[in-house]
């Protein structure tokens, strides 16, 4: 099978590193440190800097970072900490394979990655299966699909000439409602759980800065699926429509809703 091009750019993603980091830290704050968290997996680890921080913060013995982007993993590979390693894998396939031979994880962690994986009704039980008895699951998901920065891309993907080239793809499927995830955790038998939506506010220069933000994340999927010239046209039209929707506000207050969930599995 032909591998899709890797359109993730670590330098582009890092342009808003500080803004992207705060939800990661907030998710990590939900993780209980007692009993000690020895074995960790970070699904969608990206360029690895925050995975390395989590490894050190928790005092973990072994942390595995998982990502599908070779470009991101090349940056992650520069992190040199004892017990920290990275592997290339699709999150869905990793979860479906079940716990590795050396055992399940004390913490299954994923920050802003599972939105790229469809079928959460099947995915979450598999993630739960990676968690050791007494272990924890911590997930952060963007829930900002109502914002023009995402809605415009979805609409544009349904229009000519892009619709035919994208073969029905219009962006990742928006996550379920928070209540749905609470029900899933309850159904999985979580001993305790937290589900909350947090609104982050970012002071950006203008609409152009929002486009640059999205070039590092949302637009990568369209760049992967469109010929280069078509993606150039797609990105230009996206930028024009976003500028019209935002209305020239400078600086632009970019609000971003995120779903944070945490659960602890009962002891065996």
Res. 4 pLDDT band, cuts 50 70 90: low
Is residue 107 a part of any domain in this protein?
A: yes
Would 116 be classed as within a structural domain? Answer: yes
Identify whether 230 is part of a domain.
Answer: no
pLDDT at 79: 87
Q: What is the mean pLDDT of residues 35-39?
A: 96
Q: Kindly state whether residue 165 falls inside one of the protein's structural domains.
A: no
Q: Identify whether 233 is part of a domain.
A: no
Full 3-state SS string of the chain: CCCCCCCCCHHHHHHHHHHHHHHHHHHHHHCCCCCCCCEEEEECCCCCHHHHHHHHHHCCCEEEEEECCHHHHHHHCCCCCCCEEEEECCHHHHHHHCCCCCCCEEEEEEECCHHHCCCHHHHHHHHHHHEEEEEEEEEEEECCCCCHHHHHHHHHHCCCCHHHHHCCCCCCCCCCCHHHHHHHHHHHCCCEEEEEEEEEEEEECCHHHHHHHHHCCHHHHHHHHCCHHHHHHHHHHHHHHHHHHHCCCCCEEEEEEEEEEEEECCCC
User: What pLDDT score was predicted for residue 54?
Assistant: 98
Residue 242: predicted pLDDT: 95
pLDDT reading at 249 higher than 80:
yes
Cβ atoms within 10 A of the Cβ of 133, count? 10
Judge whether residue 59 has pLDDT over 70.
yes
Quote the number of domains for the chain.
Answer: 1
In this prediction the pTM is 0.94
Q: What is the mean pLDDT of residues 140-154?
A: 95
- How large is the average pLDDT for residues 165-186? 94
Kindly tell me if the per-residue pLDDT of 8 is higher than 80.
no
Position 1 pLDDT exceeds 70: no
Please report where in the chains the tokens 């993907």 appear, as a residue.
157
Instruction: Please determine, for residue 5, whether its predicted confidence score (pLDDT) is greater than 70.
Output: yes
pLDDT for position 10: 67
Mean local confidence (pLDDT), 31-56: 96
Are the CB atoms for 208 and 252 separated by under 8 Å? no
Q: Is the pLDDT of residue 93 over 80?
A: yes
Would you say the C-alpha torsion 204, 205, 210, 212 has a positive or negative sign? Answer: negative
CB atoms < 10 A from the CB of 95, how many? 25
> Mean pLDDT, to the nearest integer, of 172-189?
95
Sheet with 252-264, strands from edge to edge, namely: 84-88, 62-67, 39-43, 105-111, 131-142, 252-264, 192-204
Q: Which CATH number goes with the domain that contains 91?
A: 3.40.50.150
Q: What is the mean pLDDT of the chain?
A: 93
Q: Which domain holds residue 131?
A: 10-142+174-205+254-264
Two structure tokens written together for 199:
């609104």
Is 37 within the bounds of a domain?
Answer: yes
Asked if residue 162 is part of any domain, the answer here is: no
What are the structure tokens assigned to 126, written together?
């598999």
- Asked if residue 153 belongs to a domain, the reply is no
pLDDT at 2: 47
pLDDT recorded at residue 3: 52
Q: What's the whole-number mean pLDDT along residues 200-224?
A: 93
**Block residue for tokens 């680890």:** 45
Can you tell me the distance from the alpha carbon of 29 to that of 27, in angstroms, rounded to the nearest whole number? 5
């Amino acid at each position: 099978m032909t591998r899709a091009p890797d359109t993730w750019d670590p330098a582009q993603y890092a342009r808003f590193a500080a803004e992207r980091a705060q939800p990661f830290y907030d998710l990590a704050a939900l993780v209980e440190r007692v009993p000690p968290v020895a074995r960790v997996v970070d699904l969608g680890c990206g360029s690895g800097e925050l995975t390395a921080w989590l490894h050190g913060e928790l005092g973990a013995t072994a942390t595995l970072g998982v990502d599908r982007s070779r470009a991101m993993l090349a940056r992650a590979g520069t992190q040199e900490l004892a017990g920290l390693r990275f592997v290339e894998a699709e999150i869905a396939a990793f979860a479906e394979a079940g716990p590795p031979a050396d055992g399940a994880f004390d913490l299954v962690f994923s920050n802003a990655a599972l939105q790229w994986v469809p079928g959460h009704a099947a995915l979450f039980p598999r993630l739960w299966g990676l968690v050791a008895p007494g272990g924890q699951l911590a997930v952060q998901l963007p829930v900002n699909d109502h914002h023009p920065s995402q809605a415009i891309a979805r609409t544009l993907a349904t229009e000519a000439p892009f619709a035919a080239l994208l073969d029905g793809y219009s962006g990742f499927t928006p996550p379920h409602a928070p209540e749905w995830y609470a029900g899933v955790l309850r159904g999985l038998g979580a001993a305790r759980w937290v589900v909350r939506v947090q609104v982050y506010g970012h002071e950006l220069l203008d609409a152009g800065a929002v486009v640059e933000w999205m070039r590092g994340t949302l637009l990568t999927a369209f760049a992967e699926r469109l010929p280069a010239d078509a993606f150039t046209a797609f990105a230009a039209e996206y930028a024009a429509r976003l500028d019209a929707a935002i209305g020239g506000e400078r600086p632009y207050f970019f609000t971003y809703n995120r779903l944070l969930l945490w659960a602890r599995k009962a002891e065996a």
